Structure formats: C-alpha cells, structure tokens
Amino acid sequence: GAGVSQSPRYKVAKRGQDVALRCDPISGHVSLFWYQQALGQGPEFLTYFQNEAQLDKSGLPSDRFFAERPEGSVSTLKIQRTQQEDSAVYLCASSLLARGTPAQFFGPGTRLTVL
C-alpha cells in the first residue's frame, strides 16, 4: 500500500478483555515501531522490530502487552486483560532501513477505549 495502515481504527473493550491491534507497514520496510499516545501527550515508544526480530521491547508497560511480527511484515500488538489506563491511541510506524532511517512513517493509529 501507499502508506502504513492500522486496524481497527477504533476499539472499545470492557475491562479484562483481550485486544489485538494490527499494523500493515509500507511494503519492504525493514523497521517497525509501536508507540502509545495518551490524551494530550506525545507518543511514547513501546517496541521495535527489525524484520521479524524484536530488538527492543523496553517500552512495553507490563507483561500484559505483547507484540509480534512473525514474517517480518504485518505486526500485531496484543493487550491481555485490558485496564482503563490502557486507553490511548496506539501508533505504528515503519522505516525503510534499520535504525529508523531515513525517517519513520506513521499510520493513523488505533484509538483504544477501555470501559
């Protein structure tokens, strides 16, 4: 596709439910990033993939968060037993080469609301 796509665009979950958020990066992009953006805040780094390898997951807030990119293209961010504090916009970004070069291109995000 022409850009990074994410689905669903909006997700409402009851507290305790599991959710899965999908990211389709730009075709051929090596690097893929997940960020979490709370209301009124800047995005915060969650995790980074280079192809299928998850090189950095230091930003994942708890062991309820899990991300994968099994074939080095599409990625899924899974949140188990969702809590109200998980409500945020989850942004995915991809870049052509390693280390986010030349620039990271962002998708529209998935807005997660946990009731």
Footprint of other proteins (CB under 8 A): 4, 31, 33, 35, 40-45, 48, 56, 59, 91, 93, 98-100, 102-109, 111
Residues in the chain: 115
* Shortest reach from residue 31's CB to other proteins, in Å: 7
Closest CB to other proteins among residues 4, 67: 4
Q: Taking the complex as a whole, how short is the minimal distance between the CB of residue 81 and other proteins, in angstroms?
A: 27
Strand 105-106 versus strand 44-50 pairing type: unpaired
Residue 107: strand, helix, or coil? coil
Q: Of 113, 114, 102, 108, whose CA–CA distance to 35 is shortest?
A: 108
Closest approach, Cβ 43 to other proteins, in A, equals 5
